[in-house]
């Protein structure tokens, strides 16, 4: 059996290695248009920043490994220029010699990846404007940075365009390299996969570390400025000087070849595949950033340019080619980003997606647990949002931000979501606990308890947007009010509540809050059992701060 | 309804607070024999070590909180001396005044905890010999340490007796306080919940950090030595000098009161309860370290002195008393311990328990993944063991040791085990990945893939004990053999294997190994597909080192 794999990075390389393990006799040819196979593109921003000093560290497996360990014919600098599904052949072009050859296949695997979005803006080809996608990209950027840090007299300036993963990671790394960084994002938030109130936390953190975050503005064009600098102009007619510009406007599936071969693509612009990675042509498979996959929660087709799913897909394509019945279950979109010592991570569906889908069968909670027992030094608060289905408690998604313990909680939640856990399962979850690592009641137990209290009607909740329009009861202590206060609210400290019930209205809904929601929960229970209509304002003052935080538009 | 709760720490305090939230009208009386309610006993070793400097940090909630926020009558220094189930009364003794009073109850909750094992050894009451169980204990120990570090001229000496959690945590903290620490453990390993080969890793780590670990020896007695020091003699007639002795021989359920009240106890010595925390008397509930609970995996009755389950049990008892149908699902025994910068954690069942039960329907794998992408600085290897059911792939248990990433993996595995996940689910798990946090194929994906390869017969495995008796093939590179070698093995580097198959026997089982098992997997696939009988020696040289590491008996 002759198998050709087009694309030798995550999905393609995984597919090739797995296929060899399953079939010692297959003739496997893997081609990669770039100069390197199986390189760690997730590490590029950190190579730019010097965190990963050596370029060679990014080369996970070289061609020689594939040849000697896997007996795979690997060709880098080799582009597939055409597919003939009728003849079952692929046309390859050697990018060094220009030679074009034709190769027959029994099965073909497309793993072309995604290409960086590059709008046709005036001046976009000026020197000093870069993508962060390949090793040659990072090499050029490092060379450019080296030159600018030597030649620019004052603090060199960088403009990063786009507030997704690559934009933010590169912004951080440019700060580390001594640049004054401006981040320009067209939409109203950074990190599209999280909800806006959590994006605000990330934006505030970026600003605290010197990144000038501009939202709701797009780049209009680039001009050569003085002394070799660039001028970046925006749609709102602002101008930013830059010694380097990073284009991080996202990626789109590279479907050129697939379309040429007449393969079906989907509504999101990726190659359409079935759960066994088969394209509309049963002898052609596709994996990785180029394909549309099913969202594990919503069942919608989605694009997910993540290395984990790409690797799993490559493995599944190999299984199927080798005659096995493997299936891809879809992706939860679990992801994490570290920025200046703080971590944001998420898994499952976000609220804006549910809203877009018109889904109203969900509830959300905000809470602010410590990463570990507060009595053990170094505990850090985590900003957490958990979304669950109202009708049955199924956990749908979660987002968390903090300096410590975020990875653990979102990873465990990802496991729970994968297994279709409910909030009642979260109540019982047994994470690792010792005072330096968690709490006897872990944040995830709390999430389950809070959510179960809501679904059991033990604790109806409200959110700040509606609570502010109703009757508000603040059960914090007077000294806490001095620091931050909601003037419209009545204050009765929790310890006095039972004795002062007569001060509260019996005909109105009472929105109870404290600092984070715990005492308000106790108060809600007291009020409900005394015949009042009470709701806990989820997340308390801490989520009030979130929701009222002004956006960073300039 | 009158509810009396005996014991005001984890389980009792959780029960009291939850019950109040569910029933505003219940009369709740919580008594605690010690001077403090709701204190953080898990923090005591760290208070001794000065990591947690203030004693007050350990007081999670004081009596006043219970009174003001929960309207609960709390009495510390108050011992329940008798229960009359017939009259439904409890006799209480005020330990300060000596006053004895009798109190009626409708429902009674026992949360007496466990008592430290204290064998009647000669000299055990000498000054300088301590338990680490209560705040007064830690206060006394800190006072004693302060005196010894002032008065002992050379390095002060400590003997810690018992290699469980408290023993190890206290040993570490005494090292931090400047003591030369000897740890004496009666059995053949430290940390009873993990398997012996992993305990060896922990023991080596303790020794590296200066703890003298003595296994297979018990303490015979204590004598007053010179200059206020103690002499500790052991069963093997060794003698150790000590300026302080910590007794950490484990705990046993405090069932004195329960037995007096005629309540049933179980074969493990704990109070027998049903899944709703009801004792053999339907009006009396019991929670926490005093009760036997069901092991989530084995279904066996077990004792599990952990704060997490105790809190959950308290909550469930409250639910049931308030008329709800909550049930305890049992415990997985998830736990974690940090020692000198390294972490050991585990969840589910261990191998020795399966062996004791005569269970042969399991397989185990050893592997040594990096905590995150190796190309990102700071990746640390994790020693992992995962145990799963052979017949259907159900994940049964896992143990991990390492400097980084252990908590995340064992916590996620705990979530998977709770949800009855299989190794096929592990293959698909989507943990948080960015190069600083994991790998595109996470260690848990690897665990799933390795295990699935075994169950699919893609990769039969052997273990060192049997492999050593058979034909061994080492597929590492020659330079690796120079560092560490198994002389009986044939060496054919993986890259040469396809060309040298004729050097291998077709009639014998070939045990293939490399450093950690990955290349051996590739080699096993080559051999199997060429008609050889091949098995991968799980964990490779790294687990060989584990299994051959001499024990630390002296």
Interstrand relation of B533-537 and A301-302 (parallel, antiparallel or unpaired)? unpaired
ipTM over 0.90: yes
Interstrand relation of B509-513 and B533-537 (parallel, antiparallel or unpaired)? parallel
Count of CB atoms situated within 10 Å of the CB of A236: 12
pLDDT given at position A225: 87
| CB within 8 Å: B440 and A308 | yes
Tokens of B397: 């248990």
Chain B residues within 8 A of A288 when measuring between CB atoms: none
| CB within 8 Å: B308 and A440 | yes
What's the rounded Cα separation, in Å, for the pair B8 and B350? 32
pLDDT given at position B552: 37
| CB within 8 Å: A311 and B415 | no
Chain B residues within 8 A of A425 when measuring between CB atoms: 418-419
pLDDT given at position B62: 86
| CB within 8 Å: B408 and A410 | no
What's the rounded Cα separation, in Å, for the pair B185 and A394? 46
pLDDT given at position B546: 66
* Residues contacting residue B330 through CB under 8 Å, at least 6 positions apart: B293, B294, B295, B296, B299
| CB within 8 Å: B440 and A345 | no
| CB within 8 Å: A407 and B437 | yes
DSSP bridge pairs for B246: B130, B160
Residue-wise pLDDT for A341-354, tens only, equals 999 999 999 999 99
**Angle in degrees, CA B122, B123, B127, rounded to 5:** 165
Per-position DSSP letters for A422-491, written without gaps between them: BHHHHHH-----STTT--SS-HHHHHHHHHHHHHTTSS-EE-HHHHTTSEEEE-S-HHHHHHS--TTSEE
Nearest chain B residue to A310, by CA: B440
Count of CB atoms situated within 10 Å of the CB of B354: 21
Our answer to whether residue A514 is catalytic in this structure is yes
Percent of chain A with pLDDT over 90: 92
Q: Which helix (H) or strand (E) holds A246?
A: strand A244-247
Nearest chain B residue to A9, by CA: B440
User: Do residues B477 and B493 make contact, with C-beta atoms less than 8 angstroms apart?
Assistant: yes
Per-position DSSP letters for B238-302, written without gaps between them: -EEEESEEEE---EEE--HHHHHTT--B-TTSSBP--TTSB-SSTTEEE-GGGB-EEBTTT--EE
Chain B residues within 8 A of A373 when measuring between CB atoms: 40, 42-43
Residue-wise pLDDT for A463-500, tens only, equals 999 999 999 999 999 999 998 999 999 999 999 999 99
Nearest to B432 among A21, A335, A458 (CB): A335
Q: How many residues does chain B have?
A: 554
Mean pLDDT of A151-155: 88
Place of tokens 């969202």: A295
What's the rounded Cα separation, in Å, for the pair B249 and B184? 10
User: Do residues A174 and A248 make contact, with C-beta atoms less than 8 angstroms apart?
Assistant: no
| CB within 8 Å: A433 and B308 | yes
What's the rounded Cα separation, in Å, for the pair A460 and B515? 56
Nearest to A432 among B57, B334, B436 (CB): B334
The DSSP call for residue B491 is E
Chain B residues within 8 A of A429 when measuring between CB atoms: 414-415, 418
Place of tokens 């933010």: A168
Mean pLDDT of A127-156: 94
DSSP, collapsed to helix, strand or coil, labels residue B178 as coil
User: Do residues A38 and A113 make contact, with C-beta atoms less than 8 angstroms apart?
Assistant: no
Give the A:B interface size as CB pairs under 8 Å: 239
Nearest chain A residue to B410, by CA: A432
Of A59 and B159, more confident = B159
| CB within 8 Å: B407 and A519 | no
User: Do residues B250 and B135 make contact, with C-beta atoms less than 8 angstroms apart?
Assistant: no
Nearest to B376 among A52, A421, A529 (CB): A52
pLDDT given at position A546: 66
DSSP bridge pairs for A232: A222, A240
Mutate to test the interface with A, among B402, B435, B443 (most CBs of A within 10 A): B435
Mutate to test the interface with B, among A440, A527, A529 (most CBs of B within 10 A): A440
| CB within 8 Å: B440 and A52 | no
Nearest to A68 among B335, B377, B495 (CB): B495
Residue A180: is its pLDDT beyond 50?
yes
Mutate to test the interface with A, among B10, B53, B308 (most CBs of A within 10 A): B308
* Burial status of residue A237 (CB atoms within 10 A of its CB: 0-12, 13-18, 19 or more): exposed
Chain A residues within 8 A of B57 when measuring between CB atoms: 375
Per-position DSSP letters for B369-417, written without gaps between them: -BSS-TTSTT--BEEEEEEEETTT-BEEEEEEEESSSHHHHHHHHHHHH
Name the band, by pLDDT with cuts 50, 70 and 90, for residue A547: low
User: Do residues B393 and B372 make contact, with C-beta atoms less than 8 angstroms apart?
Assistant: no
Nearest to A411 among B408, B421, B495 (CB): B408
Tokens of A325: 């019945």
Nearest chain A residue to B522, by CA: A21
| CB within 8 Å: B418 and A425 | yes
Mutate to test the interface with B, among A430, A460, A492 (most CBs of B within 10 A): A430
Chain B residues within 8 A of A495 when measuring between CB atoms: 68-69
Question: In the predicted model, what is the mean pLDDT of chain A?
Answer: 95
Give the distance from residue A523's alpha carbon to the nearest chain B alpha carbon, in angstroms.
9
Distance between first and last Cα of chain A: 60
Nearest chain A residue to B296, by CA: A430
Place of tokens 């599904």: A85
Give the distance from residue B70's alpha carbon to the nearest chain A alpha carbon, in angstroms.
8
Question: In the predicted model, what is the mean pLDDT of chain B?
Answer: 95
| CB within 8 Å: A43 and B435 | yes
Place of tokens 């609960």: B72
What is the pTM for the complete model shown? 0.96
Give the distance from residue B68's alpha carbon to the nearest chain A alpha carbon, in angstroms.
5
Residue-wise pLDDT for A431-448, tens only, equals 999 999 999 999 999 999
Nearest to A414 among B311, B431, B435 (CB): B431
| CB within 8 Å: A60 and B458 | no
| CB within 8 Å: B440 and A411 | no
What's the rounded Cα separation, in Å, for the pair B475 and B364? 22
Nearest to A21 among B311, B522, B530 (CB): B522
Q: What is the SS3 string spanning B492-518?
A: CCHHHHHHHHHHCCCCCEEEEECCCCH
Residue-wise pLDDT for B36-80, tens only, equals 998 898 999 999 999 999 999 999 888 888 999 999 999 999 999
- pLDDT tens track, chain B, 554 positions: 999 999 999 899 999 999 999 999 999 999 999 999 988 989 999 999 999 999 999 998 888 889 999 999 999 999 999 999 999 999 999 999 999 999 999 999 999 999 999 999 999 999 999 999 999 999 999 999 999 999 988 899 999 999 999 999 999 999 999 999 999 999 999 999 999 999 999 999 999 999 999 999 999 999 998 888 999 999 999 999 999 999 999 999 999 999 999 999 999 999 999 999 999 999 999 999 999 999 999 999 999 988 899 999 999 999 999 999 999 999 999 999 999 999 999 999 999 999 999 999 999 999 999 999 999 999 999 999 999 999 999 999 999 999 999 999 999 999 999 999 999 999 999 999 999 999 999 999 999 999 999 999 999 999 999 999 999 999 999 999 998 999 999 999 999 999 999 999 999 999 999 999 999 999 999 999 999 999 999 999 999 876 544 443 33
Phi, psi of B108, deg, nearest 5: -120, 135
B96-109 in b/e burial notation, b at 16+ Cβ within 10 A?
A: eeeeeeebebebbb
């Amino acid at each position: 059996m002759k198998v050709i794999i087009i694309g030798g990075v995550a999905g393609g390389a995984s597919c090739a290695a797995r296929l060899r393990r399953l079939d010692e006799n297959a003739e496997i040819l893997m081609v990669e248009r770039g100069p390197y196979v199986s390189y760690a593109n997730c590490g590029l921003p950190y190579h730019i920043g010097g965190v990963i000093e050596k370029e060679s560290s990014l080369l996970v497996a070289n061609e020689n490994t594939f040849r000697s360990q896997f007996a795979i014919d690997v060709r880098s600098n080799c582009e597939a220029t055409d597919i003939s599904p009728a003849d079952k052949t692929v046309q390859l072009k050697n990018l060094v010699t220009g030679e074009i050859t034709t190769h027959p296949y029994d099965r073909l695997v497309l793993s072309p990846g995604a290409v960086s979005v590059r709008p046709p803006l005036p001046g976009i080809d000026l020197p000093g404007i870069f993508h962060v996608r390949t090793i040659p990209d990072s090499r050029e950027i490092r060379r450019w940075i080296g030159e600018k840090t030597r030649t620019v007299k004052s603090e060199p300036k960088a403009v990063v365009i786009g507030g997704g993963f690559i934009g933010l990671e590169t912004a951080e790394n440019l700060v580390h390299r001594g640049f004054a960084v401006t981040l320009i994002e067209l939409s109203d938030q950074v990190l599209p996969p999280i909800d806006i109130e959590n994006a605000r936390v990330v934006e505030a953190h970026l600003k605290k570390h010197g990144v000038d975050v501009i939202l709701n503005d797009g780049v209009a064009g680039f001009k050569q400025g003085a002394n070799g600098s660039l001028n970046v102009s925006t749609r709102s007619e602002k101008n930013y000087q830059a010694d380097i510009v990073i284009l991080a406007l996202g990626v789109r599936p590279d479907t050129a070849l697939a379309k040429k071969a007449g393969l079906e693509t989907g509504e999101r612009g990726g190659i359409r595949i079935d759960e066994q990675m088969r394209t509309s042509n049963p002898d052609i498979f596709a994996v990785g950033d180029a394909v549309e996959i099913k969202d594990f929660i919503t069942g919608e087709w989605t694009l997910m340019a993540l290395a984990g799913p790409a690797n799993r897909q490559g493995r599944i394509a190999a299984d199927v080619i080798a005659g096995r019945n493997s299936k891809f279950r879809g992706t939860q979109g679990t992801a994490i980003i570290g920025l200046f010592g703080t971590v944001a991570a998420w898994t499952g569906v976000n609220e804006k997606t549910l809203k877009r889908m018109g889904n109203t069968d969900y509830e959300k909670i905000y809470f602010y647990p410590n990463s570990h027992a507060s009595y053990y030094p170094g505990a850090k608060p985590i900003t957490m949002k958990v979304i669950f289905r109202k009708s049955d408690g199924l956990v749908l998604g979660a987002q968390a931000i903090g300096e410590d313990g975020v990875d653990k909680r979102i990873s465990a939640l990802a496991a729970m979501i994968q297994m279709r856990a409910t909030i009642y399962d979260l109540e019982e979850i047994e994470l690792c606990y010792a005072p330096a690592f968690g709490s006897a009641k872990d944040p995830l137990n709390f999430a389950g308890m809070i959510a179960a209290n809501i679904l059991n009607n033990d604790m109806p909740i409200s959110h700040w947007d509606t609570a502010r329009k109703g009757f508000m009861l603040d059960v914090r202590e007077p000294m806490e009010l001095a620091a931050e206060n909601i003037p419209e609210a009545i204050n009765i400290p929790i310890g006095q509540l039972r004795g002062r019930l007569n001060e509260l209205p019996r005909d109105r809904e009472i929105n109870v809050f404290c600092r984070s929601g715990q005492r308000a929960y106790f108060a809600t229970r007291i009020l409900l059992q005394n015949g009042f209509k009470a709701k806990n304002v989820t997340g308390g003052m801490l989520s009030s701060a979130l929701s009222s935080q002004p956006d960073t538009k300039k």
